[in-house]
Structure 1
């Protein structure tokens, strides 16, 4: 064993030689060590350096891990940016809706929901982008920022994971310890040493320099130095031999530490802990004492970490407990519904559609609820206004839907049927009705009297089976135009059986309903006929006047004073 000791020391020191001259700061906690390397390099070269020593560029998967890296930068008094293990390969696009914005950890694993972007990364799909960490300072609160991976930075952060850690190596006397870590860093500033670390002790006063190696796991769990120490032994009379409670020495024996009743030696073989190893609680969660050790447990929503003491959050969203969207939180999760839905069921895991149409004034006219939203519509006879939800009236009369006149009104139309037709029940068409004669009904109260054309106004009532007729001519009087032929004028109106008359009020229900309209047609027709007769009479008068002007005698001349005597026959008895 003594012959192998120098060889073991040489193997453990080889990685340290690879970092010769490099300024490295180390922080070890739980089951991982983080290093800050002050060496200018591109992102690719920094990742290769970390991988050569058994790690990767540091990920930041939780707030606790972010706090450790900030502590490391603060201890090193580093205020500049340093590469992280977060990158976006070329050909992949930035995803603004994701926590990591489409980037991924070079160490692999789930991306997680934790993010700490100080500024949004550049929106690109064609160039590789890598993330760096800047500590808080005068420039701002710090956080992640992206940049081109080929641009060098003055520092980078690495992470190395291990099964467990050993505490500080106990020393009985004065001395110094130099730790050579498995990831190639030699330092004397370690609060915990990872499994496989070699500790070289330099005791005051010279003499042999002892070595110790962090080994484990032990039978009761955890990791411890071998030999356990304390190193640099001194007599129990000096500083109690480096022991916390009792120091025992005997003839021919090296000093050793012991504890009072109720306490036992800790893994460093110098300090003492209560026999109930759960007081104080060495676990992050709950602790259950066992013979020779303890067992750690975690609260619901957390799982026991690899070191057997810590607790890590469980991502319940991986099992898909929510109907729509799931957000993982420390120790649990939250369900969220998409817009247009509301949470329902236990813990709001299900989502029910929201009926937007139940809200007042959701739409101007009609509202149609659809899953997650709603749609506005218009009643028949209206159409949507382009670019809005308001409804405009449709003028159906522009499409010639009626055989005759058409009247448009908001939301519909109606046909105005000509005489002889009956409007349909819905008002959108006309049907043939009973035949109505073209003669114009006349009564003393309807037909106006014209002074220049005297006319008989009496109408002899007749039964429906007879056709009354009476006529009178226009008499010649001093006020009439000379030479004008008398114009016959019919004052009685033939009446067809079943035809309604103004004074009798008889007829079917259909005629009664259309009576006012038919009466208007008759009045208009009577006026048109009278105007035509009057125009004809005026034209005839004008023609006769022109004829009379042409027949006037010519003007008198001088010859008009002479009388023409007929030639007398010569007397036969007269001779010359």
Structure 2
């Protein structure tokens, strides 16, 4: 007793638990789970778990979900925080099992998920997950909500190297366990390493203490000092022994086992005489006649030594349509960008229609396999992440002034002209005596220097055809403010153009007249005579010598 008290004094005091809390605890394997009844937000609940040496509980497998379900059923809790969280700045990923959320305790994300509804699609807010029942069968599932919301319960997980079995009592009394994470419980199917057991025996002057700390070969721990506690006699509850109780004169009470069994490390229970009691297997151990058999969990295979378990690389079998990532005991499938997981088990990939998301493109969106492409409407052109208006007026599409519009343009028509139906041309206003539209008159568009000109052709009985001035189109009426402001200027342009044409014709006429006069002069030159081929000889002075002259 003195040694037990000294051991108790040397132990660090257990962490206090709030008196207002109603705590349920369950220990199995190498972990303990607790359910706390207290109104807290997600951050406050995680801080409470971390202060006691754990984290908000993960749910990484169906077995773990079943353990948490037992705690939820025992306390009739409606919803409780678990350790799954989507940080701000990280986007929800609908193709992943955890939808982009991560466990606060870290580790591999795993392929297990139990969403009751799809989480909110966000990249800008922090979202946390609760475990709550759904449906008539009270199936547990996950639901995301704001981390600032308060819930009446939260679940913690504490991991250990091993466990001790329940403590046996050899006589009347009661046991209370104080766990290393500060929870006191009168009943534990397994006690984690470091748990202090306090036995209050009837008729004893004080309590008896024992600590889970004695290591066992092959793993696990035993109580030290061992039981049974509160020994009385074999006549009372078989002295706390599971099978045989021995009382020898002058010797303390002790327990033994029947043939085929061996005494357990608690010195009260009996184990089947095989090697399984020392847990020689990495997986589970099954007793067999003359020995034992190791069995590995799903996703592992037994190594040739028959004891250890080796992870199976399921990705070698190509179970995923796109990409496969091997994990411990399982695997996860992911899709290439532009696809999302679908089908049974989330192994197939389906093209994601990005165009269905609002704001994907500024105007037009074309969905492609694994991607998408943005396009602009007529009258616009791409410009970075938006569509820019094209200024059609730079191409001079109008015979006169042009006004650019978003995605289009308009031509301004002068007084006396009306816009055509397509809005990109002008036609003359019908005058008295002219046939209205729909008569045998036909209208054609002539292209002169890139501008439309309208000609009117009538039947022989109609008035002679005439050339109409170029007329730009407009969207308004002839009496619109634009026409009132641009009419005089356009009329001035037409008058100056007519004067230039008259001057050009006049100059052409003068040139033709000068050419004709020059030709007439050439035709009136005098006719040549025979004398034109002879030359005149100068006269000689007359001779007055008569005969003398003749002699010469």
Return closer, same or farther for 1:41/1:280 CA change in 2, 3 Å cut-off.
same
The alpha carbon displacement at 1:174 in A equals 1.7
Matches of residues 55-454 of structure 1 in structure 2 within 5 Å?
A: 55-78=54-77, 80-136=78-134, 138=136, 141-219=139-217, 221-278=219-276, 285=283, 287=285, 296-298=294-296, 301-302=299-300, 316-317=314-315, 324-326=322-324
Aligned counterparts of 2:319 and 2:31: Cα–Cα separation in 1: 32
Aligned counterparts of 2:193 and 2:135: Cα–Cα separation in 1: 35
Aligned counterparts of 1:318 and 1:146: Cα–Cα separation in 2: 34
- Show CA shifts across 1:26-66 (max 9, x none): 01111000000101111111111100110000001111111
Aligned counterparts of 2:32 and 2:326: Cα–Cα separation in 1: 27
The alpha carbon displacement at 1:23 in A equals 1.0
Return closer, same or farther for 1:21/1:12 CA change in 2, 3 Å cut-off.
farther
Aligned counterparts of 1:56 and 1:100: Cα–Cα separation in 2: 18
Aligned counterparts of 2:293 and 2:220: Cα–Cα separation in 1: 11
- Is the CA contact 1:35–1:157 (under 8 Å) kept in the aligned structure 2? yes
Matches of residues 508-547 of structure 1 in structure 2 within 5 Å?
A: none
- Is the CA contact 2:243–2:270 (under 8 Å) kept in the aligned structure 1? yes
- Is the CA contact 2:32–2:157 (under 8 Å) kept in the aligned structure 1? yes
- Is the CA contact 1:171–1:233 (under 8 Å) kept in the aligned structure 2? yes
**What secondary structure sits across from 2:245 in the alignment?**
strand
The alpha carbon displacement at 1:223 in A equals 1.3
Match of 1:35 in 2: 34
- Is the CA contact 1:42–1:150 (under 8 Å) kept in the aligned structure 2? yes
Aligned counterparts of 2:124 and 2:285: Cα–Cα separation in 1: 52
Please tell me whether Structure 1 or Structure 2 has the larger radius of gyration of its CA atoms.
1
The alpha carbon displacement at 1:277 in A equals 3.6
Aligned counterparts of 1:103 and 1:335: Cα–Cα separation in 2: 16
Aligned counterparts of 2:42 and 2:10: Cα–Cα separation in 1: 29
Return closer, same or farther for 1:273/1:6 CA change in 2, 3 Å cut-off.
closer
The alpha carbon displacement at 1:301 in A equals 2.9
**What secondary structure sits across from 2:215 in the alignment?**
coil
**What secondary structure sits across from 2:142 in the alignment?**
strand
The alpha carbon displacement at 1:263 in A equals 1.8
- Is the CA contact 2:132–2:140 (under 8 Å) kept in the aligned structure 1? yes
Gaps of at least 5 residues in structure 1 are: 339-348, 350-370, 373-576
Larger strand fraction of residues:
2
- Is the CA contact 1:263–1:273 (under 8 Å) kept in the aligned structure 2? yes
Aligned counterparts of 2:166 and 2:80: Cα–Cα separation in 1: 29
Gaps of at least 5 residues in structure 2 are: 337-346, 348-368, 371-552
Aligned counterparts of 1:98 and 1:298: Cα–Cα separation in 2: 27
The alpha carbon displacement at 1:71 in A equals 0.9
- Is the CA contact 1:13–1:184 (under 8 Å) kept in the aligned structure 2? no
Aligned counterparts of 2:204 and 2:13: Cα–Cα separation in 1: 25
Return closer, same or farther for 1:335/1:47 CA change in 2, 3 Å cut-off.
closer
- Is the CA contact 2:322–2:333 (under 8 Å) kept in the aligned structure 1? yes
Aligned counterparts of 2:75 and 2:167: Cα–Cα separation in 1: 23
Aligned counterparts of 2:181 and 2:69: Cα–Cα separation in 1: 21
Aligned counterparts of 1:213 and 1:117: Cα–Cα separation in 2: 41
The alpha carbon displacement at 1:6 in A equals 4.0
Match of 2:466 in 1: none
The alpha carbon displacement at 1:271 in A equals 2.0
Give me the TM-score of the superposition, normalised by structure 2: 0.54
